[in-house]
Structure 1
């Protein structure tokens, strides 16, 4: 099974997912050949387009090929022509048109390209039940062709935190879709409270947005309280989680939210916008309690109000921390993700191949 992926060295949830699946699928019987397709996806140059075309053309007839949606969905002219010869599966981390900040015409173009690709391939994998339902409804896909393989989580030692309340952590690439600008505005509205916030995530995807965010931080007088730490991994990221009392994620669109389950895997409660698959990622503890606060995305007062509740209600903090610790032990691991994805691949592998 060849797999076409975006740059695996880039720090994103999608690339972490791709990397883990390439690593874990061989353990359940799949032979994986990984192909990194470098380029400015979903706006590839000629070299990137040629490389993807070459990889597909050199794959033997009937081969199961798993393609990252960021690569596949923007180039139906390359992908669709191979659907009769190869068994193609597209893994959609985020619908292309859902990226925040796109001009409407560009979003519509990407949406149309994605629809053409997804309607042509025999199988699609989404990363949450919410995302699967949305793909079926939005692109009018047959529900039986859309499978779900939600990201797993590695259970880590419980985070000791700082003082139990004041250390806030946001783990997300600094882009308009992740909403750090509105997070800083919410923090400015509660500047009288005793918090600090570390924002961990890549700073190179949208330099203009990063510059405006830095300007807002300074203008709000929060330069010594909000820290843009840049991307982290390994022990450095583990240390940031260990010091956190509350995870905050204020995205405008998410199909799941791996940073949420990474926090919950350490028993850290979550404050997040109730968009897309984020409520699914937050989930519930075995007793039904919610390990965090979900706020409506369209209400600018909701984030400051939730933060004031977090600091002002010790009983709420205790309940959320207990629920987060209980949710931690109930999270599915990456083996479940691999088995769910393998089930979709196996179903496709056993189907009669389309006649040429």
Structure 2
């Protein structure tokens, strides 16, 4: 099975569904993207039904799988459904075979690219994602990088892929920079975000004057405990705060106070936080992985190899020591941020994609 064949016809109405595992209000970049799409599509007149799937995805319990199957199977044929990749890649393909509605996959980044998987888990997700992407009539991705990965590794034709780069909210306030300089990192507490690398890098810079805040929910409790242990073990308790998930207002305030943005990520399918940092005019220190080189404007960031605390520390130290360079990068970052698309731009792309899907008479191959 290679998907669903279709020919164009005018849609009779704008109705669709959006399937998301867990709470769509969860504070991550991926869930924020999902929220913005749902709200934006509804503002354009779409009747969007939100399907809340179980919290156990991407490793679903049998109960959560049965519940998801029931919700998806109940959708009528003329109601296209966007399925978040956190769930789509974990489905038994037979579940999707029973769905009458046209499936639009939303892949922030492939599950097989998530850090921390065993070789067996990676192989499992690679197989299931490939099978399930073949059952989607179209695929939405946030970046050219993810589009290339899906084409090269998952056999998804480029004609079935639409890039809908995330939009960016403009700052709620300009903020006042702190003294000493604040180094801000934003990302959930999972291995892929590399906060452990950042902490080890900061431990090399104790002769310099700075403070640091890591904002992001503790999605992996074991890893969160390891980060807290590292803060104490490295003697950073007086200078580093791990504040967990914060509100959008608090996060905007932190961006306004910061002088540097630092994320030692091990992989990103996009990285909304980099856009947020650029909108706030922050110099960026991060890693040359995944979609990061295409997301961070060249003059706005210093990109180093992943899993290299020494290189990360050197990049931070250079900017802490060089106020002129920091100002130049901040200006470049602000210029890049001002040119970024809005969420209205993103929603328009998805709206046009759904209209094409909804304008079809669908038959399974």
Give TM-score scaled by structure 1 length: 0.93
In structure 2, do the counterparts of structure 1 residues 271 and 159 end up closer, same or farther at CA, with 3 Å as the change threshold?
A: farther
Contact persistence 1:273–1:296 (CA under 8 A): yes
Report the counterpart of residue 139 of structure 1 in structure 2.
Answer: 154
- TM-superposed CA distance for 1:26, in Å, is 2.3
- TM-superposed CA distance for 1:298, in Å, is 5.2
Task: Say which SS state the counterpart of residue 354 (structure 1) adopts.
Answer: strand
Describe how 1:216-227 pairs up with structure 2 within 5 A: 216-227=230-241
Task: Say which SS state the counterpart of residue 332 (structure 1) adopts.
Answer: coil
Contact persistence 2:184–2:254 (CA under 8 A): yes
- TM-superposed CA distance for 1:349, in Å, is 2.3
Report the counterpart of residue 6 of structure 2 in structure 1.
Answer: none
Report the counterpart of residue 111 of structure 1 in structure 2.
Answer: 126
- Count of paired positions: 348
Describe how 1:266-305 pairs up with structure 2 within 5 A: 266-283=280-297, 290-297=299-306, 299-305=308-314
Contact persistence 1:80–1:117 (CA under 8 A): yes
- Which residue of the other structure, out of 330, 349, 353, is the alignment partner of 1:344? 353
- Which residue of the other structure, out of 277, 291, 294, is the alignment partner of 1:263? 277
Any gaps of 5 or more consecutive residues in structure 1? Answer: 285-289
- Which residue of the other structure, out of 67, 71, 79, is the alignment partner of 1:63? 79
Report the counterpart of residue 140 of structure 2 in structure 1.
Answer: 125
Contact persistence 2:288–2:304 (CA under 8 A): yes
Task: Say which SS state the counterpart of residue 275 (structure 1) adopts.
Answer: coil
Aligned-partner Cα distance in 2 for 1:22–1:243:
31
- TM-superposed CA distance for 1:60, in Å, is 0.9
Contact persistence 1:271–1:292 (CA under 8 A): yes
Aligned-partner Cα distance in 2 for 1:343–1:76:
29
Report the counterpart of residue 31 of structure 1 in structure 2.
Answer: 47
* CA shift digits 1:52-100 (9 cap, x unpaired): 11221211123211111111111133443136x3211010112111111
With CA pairs under 8 Å and 6+ residues apart, which has the higher RCO, 1 or 2? 2
* CA shift digits 1:267-320 (9 cap, x unpaired): 222111121112222235xxxxx2222222254432111011101222211111
Aligned-partner Cα distance in 2 for 1:316–1:16:
32
Report whether the alignment pairs 1:330 with 2:344: no
Describe how 1:140-155 pairs up with structure 2 within 5 A: 140-155=155-170
In structure 2, do the counterparts of structure 1 residues 355 and 185 end up closer, same or farther at CA, with 3 Å as the change threshold?
A: closer
Any gaps of 5 or more consecutive residues in structure 2? Answer: 1-15
Deviates more, 1:61-70 or 1:169-178: 61-70
Contact persistence 2:197–2:308 (CA under 8 A): no
